[in-house]
A and B are shown apart, each in its own frame.
Chain A
Amino acid sequence: MKDEATQQAERVARESYGRLVAFLAARTRDVAGAEDALAEAFATALASWPRDGVPRNPEAWLLTVARRRQTDAVRRRRTRTAGEEHLTMIADEIAAAAEAPEEIPDRRLALMFACAHPAIERGMRTPLILQAILGLTAEEIAAAFLITPATMGQRLVRAKGKIKDAAIPFAVPERTALSERLDAVLEAIYAAYGRGWAESGDAETPALAGEALWLARLVVSLLPDEPEAKGMLALMLYAEARRPARRGGDGSYIPLEEQNTKLWDRDQIVEAEALLRLANAGGPSGRYQLEAAIQSAHVARRLTGAATWPAVVALYDHLHALTASPVVALNRAVALSETEGPAAAWTALEEVARDKRMADYQPYWAARGHLAQATGRKDDAHEALTVAMGLSTDPAIRSYLREQIDALVDG
């Protein structure tokens, strides 16, 4: 049974971790140092709060202790040189530590921009944000990225070293650079959500999806004027709302068109719709807004029976003009089957097939299998569905494809 002081420290940890790390590291750009100082402050709190009582403002208390630790660390490191600059800094830090603010300024957005800076290796931006803002351990992050905790730990240390040594700024970029840099932040958060989906056949609620939603909400609240942030949160919520319907009772895979819409989370859909409306107030422009709009069209079709496939194809056209992505072209081809029929879709698919990246892209082979089936190409269908099955790591998807192949042979 945990006592009140322990529970209090854990509550503060969860809610304030990123805020405190961001505040402590903003000046020194030393994320690892800030995390260390904070860890010591939490240890001190767990020792003294049960004895002396929980302070009135626990966040300010932790900040004061962490800053003293930070100052001690700087002093220890600098005794050899004792340059004037460093003495000034220590004096500043002591003065600042003496008076912890009632309200700790929120520098989390600046910290996220530092973590997703183009000078940080792309694959490390998501892990860095998960650790610095949410306090996830290297073990927890490593599990989602399918690498060893030791390797993840080393890479995190290296990435934090880069922030400090290269002096990557803790700042929200200027207007001119904002949208490009924000893309990197959103991409890092969306990648965390994607990890959430991919885990263990996504039968149970994945750990990272919740964290990614929390981060997306944070960005929306800190950058209320950015439509793409809202678009991304809406996109995540559409997917999240359908999660309970994506699997049958036996864990089997259920495609969108066959899902029981009664299982969809209506609150999340309502929230997604509202966010999308706000985001599109100035006209839908960005990738996430368009993708969310496509999901909105799917939801409307399934809930009201409205004929939304033409809208879906049109939205994919916009998205393809924006991204030139073969994945978008593939999805457009599949949607085309619903508006112009499977023959037109097959022609579009043959066009997509020219992209070499499709050769080992599972959704391509699954789509090819279904379109081949619909256009009476039995051999093509058999081959494509078999390849799709071979490229899938998810047992539920594999058995779904197995049934399709069996039906093909029997039929």
Chain B
Amino acid sequence: MRYLMLIHQDETTLGGNPEQMKQLYADWGAFNEALAKAKGSSPGERMQPASAATTVKVRAGKTTVVDGPYSDTKEQLGGYYFIEADNLDEAIKWAELCPASKYGGIEIRPIVPAGGY
């Protein structure tokens, strides 16, 4: 099973003192390293904050471009990674390992298999 792991976090509470940031970067480095070694997984990518988001909709041939993310909630999508796992419990382990699970939340979304219904 392939799972998309979506990282949600409250952007306003991100950051900290230099010592905390150093620790956080080290944690992320280690996590990405582990992810890179795991078969079928792809290391995370970090997104610019939601303030950099633009949402596009086309309705009846007319395009609307709106400043901001698709849904304006306190916790925003901040990044993602893919993992390959036998089942949900394994995917949950990969969510627990992700540093963002300590300050945000990881949404686990199973990917519809190729040729799926």
Contacts and interface: CB of A to CB of B under 8 A. Distances in A.
B115 A80 contact: yes
Nearest to A174: B89
B88 A169 contact: yes
Interface in A71-124: 77, 80-81, 83, 117, 119
A250 B117 CA distance: 59
B88 A117 contact: yes
A406 interface: no
A167 B115 contact: no
Contact of A119 (B86, B88, B114, B117): B88
Contacts of A119: 88
B89 A173 contact: yes
B87 A77 contact: no
**Which of B87, B108, B110 neighbours the largest number of chain A CB atoms within 10 Å of its CB?**
B87
A168 B87 contact: yes
Interface in A158-178: 165-169, 171, 173, 177
**Majority secondary structure of chain A interface residues (helix, strand, loop or mixed):** loop
Interface residues of A, number: 14
Given A165-B110, A166-B110, A81 B115 contact: yes
Nearest to B1: A167
**Majority secondary structure of chain B interface residues (helix, strand, loop or mixed):** loop
A167 B117 contact: no
Contacts of B88: 117, 119, 166-169
Contacts of B108: 166
B108 to A, nearest CB: 7
Contact of A169 (B87, B110, B114, B117): B87
Given A166-B88, A167-B1, A168-B88, A77 B117 contact: yes
A408 B88 CA distance: 59
A171 B117 CA distance: 26
A77 B116 CA distance: 9
Contacts of A171: 87, 89
Contact of B89 (A77, A80, A83, A169): A169
B107 to A, nearest CB: 12
Interface of A: 77, 80-81, 83, 117, 119, 165-169, 171, 173, 177
- Pick the 6 closest A-B CB pairs, nearest first: A81-B115, A169-B87, A167-B1, A167-B87, A168-B88, A166-B88
Given A169-B88, A173-B89, 7 more contacts: A77-B117, A81-B114, A81-B115, A165-B110, A166-B88, A167-B1, A169-B89
